[in-house]
Structure 1
């Protein structure tokens, strides 16, 4: 059979199929499973009891989209930069950029467009402070991709700060003052989960070669345990001070719901610590979703805090 005849019999992917394949690859590179982390943008408005108006809901939804766009820009640039190394990895080789589904120049281009468009839109649709925070987030995360992820302790601080920025931006977009105890609770709560995840990875990789994070070989299991235990203690203390300082109005509330929510918060920390101690605390969203008890405690906490905000 001639080469021409063989080419004629070989099925060719139509342009529309290639286009949709590229689109699917871009969406996969944007890590849809990680978007749940951006729900933290509701933290500040919810904590201030200002989450019940149409304007606030629209602004929070907008901030969620803009933060998701910034995170997607970071993922795209990171995967484009690490494409060669990912191709040699047994798992990361399936990422769309490494697998060739998304060309490296396209990943850079789309990431760059998102990185410029999101802060620009925030300036006009939210507030200059929200835009400045998005720019700071992008700069910090890109620096993390290039070099900071290889620096001891700084890598933990950068990832933790990313969670804290998510919790702050809702307040900045709406001009809501941010309580110092809110910031401390959020920051150390994030550090608790981040260090617990690192600890779990270190425990699982103990005695094995080929750690998924090169920096894990420089941390000791004992040090990471110290970090998540310290962070858990500070988060609990800060939350208790926050609840006591900004308690509900006793004359209008049936019960002191905000103070009572301390019980649910502490139980949630203790329950999460079970998985951290076992070395099975992976992605925070996976831990919460797979453990019914922890999910139930979280729902009870949300109910108590909602009643506190409503002064019921």
Structure 2
């Protein structure tokens, strides 16, 4: 087979499967975390306002696109290391199924379009999404290699999601709610680090930062932030909101945290929190019941 024929077949392969591999690289399964943008509209009592709900939905889509583009950039930066990872080596960029140049061009287009869309919703929303983009870029290239700071950077991303949701509808956010979000995201981040440290073969060689953690340290951090999450959320339901019955949602939060810790310690799961939330039926049901209970307690009672 001639070089020209080989090149032609390769070009045909890339053009045929480009969108499929690009969508896989955007990791839509991990977009569930962007649902945090709906927290302000839910707890501010504006969920039934169609205009505000549409604005919040736009912010959700923007963060999904931004997150997807940042995943592509992360895969581009880590493609050499990912080729030696037992799971990540199958990603389109690491496996060579998605050309780096095409992936980079798509990421730039998605980032640019999403940022322009966010500024169209207001300069506050645009500024927050810009900070989020810079923060994720910093995480990709150096912050994820700094012990403890890597987890706090992840937590900052969740706070920015909540802040963007609040800015979109011009609603204040309780400090207690923001602290609860920080603690919950730290809990998820530390659980993920523990899973990576214990389960993945040669994890420390793939990610040098894991060698700076220990299982004992992570166990203590997980216990601390899990307890603090429950306490702070309970304080929020009692003091941070005008809804007198929201406190009855605390047991669901307690059960959800306990269930997640059970999955971490007894089933050795937790490497991908977004997937775990969807595939574990008791945990998914808990989140669903918590959402419904908050809606009923805030809007019907």
How high is the TM-score relative to the length of structure 1? 0.87
Kindly state the Cα deviation for residue 240 of structure 1 after the two structures are TM-superposed: 0.9
1:236-251 aligned at under 5 Å gives the runs 236-246=230-240
Two-structure CA RMSD over aligned residues (Å)? 2.5
Match of 1:213 in 2: 207
1:1-312 aligned at under 5 Å gives the runs 18-124=14-120, 126-205=121-200, 209-211=202-204, 212-246=206-240, 257-278=245-266, 279-312=268-301
Q: In the superposition, relative to structure 1, how do residues 237 and 200 fare at CA in structure 2: closer, same or farther (>3 Å)? A: same
Kindly state the Cα deviation for residue 15 of structure 1 after the two structures are TM-superposed: 7.1
SS at match of 2:94: helix
Report which stretch shifted further, 96-105 or 140-149. Answer: 96-105
How high is the TM-score relative to the length of structure 2? 0.89
SS at match of 1:98: coil
Is the 1:248–1:257 Cα contact (8 Å) retained in structure 2?
A: no
Q: In the superposition, relative to structure 1, how do residues 246 and 139 fare at CA in structure 2: closer, same or farther (>3 Å)? A: closer
Q: In the superposition, relative to structure 1, how do residues 300 and 100 fare at CA in structure 2: closer, same or farther (>3 Å)? A: closer
Distance of 1:123 and 1:222 partners within structure 2: 44
| CA offsets 1:291-312 (integer angstroms, 9 cap, x no match) | 3332333233222211121142
Distance of 2:199 and 2:12 partners within structure 1: 44
Report which stretch shifted further, 103-112 or 219-228. Answer: 103-112
SS at match of 1:97: coil
Distance of 1:285 and 1:101 partners within structure 2: 24
SS at match of 1:71: helix
Q: In the superposition, relative to structure 1, how do residues 184 and 92 fare at CA in structure 2: closer, same or farther (>3 Å)? A: same
| CA offsets 1:29-77 (integer angstroms, 9 cap, x no match) | 1111111221221111111121112212211221111111111221122
Unaligned runs of 5+ in 1: 250-255
Distance of 1:245 and 1:150 partners within structure 2: 38
Q: Which has the higher contact order (CA 8 A, sep 6+)?
A: 2
Unaligned runs of 5+ in 2: none
Is the 1:248–1:311 Cα contact (8 Å) retained in structure 2?
A: no
Is the 1:247–1:259 Cα contact (8 Å) retained in structure 2?
A: no
Is the 1:30–1:73 Cα contact (8 Å) retained in structure 2?
A: yes
* Count of paired positions: 299
Kindly state the Cα deviation for residue 16 of structure 1 after the two structures are TM-superposed: 7.1
Q: In the superposition, relative to structure 1, how do residues 13 and 235 fare at CA in structure 2: closer, same or farther (>3 Å)? A: same
Distance of 1:91 and 1:99 partners within structure 2: 11
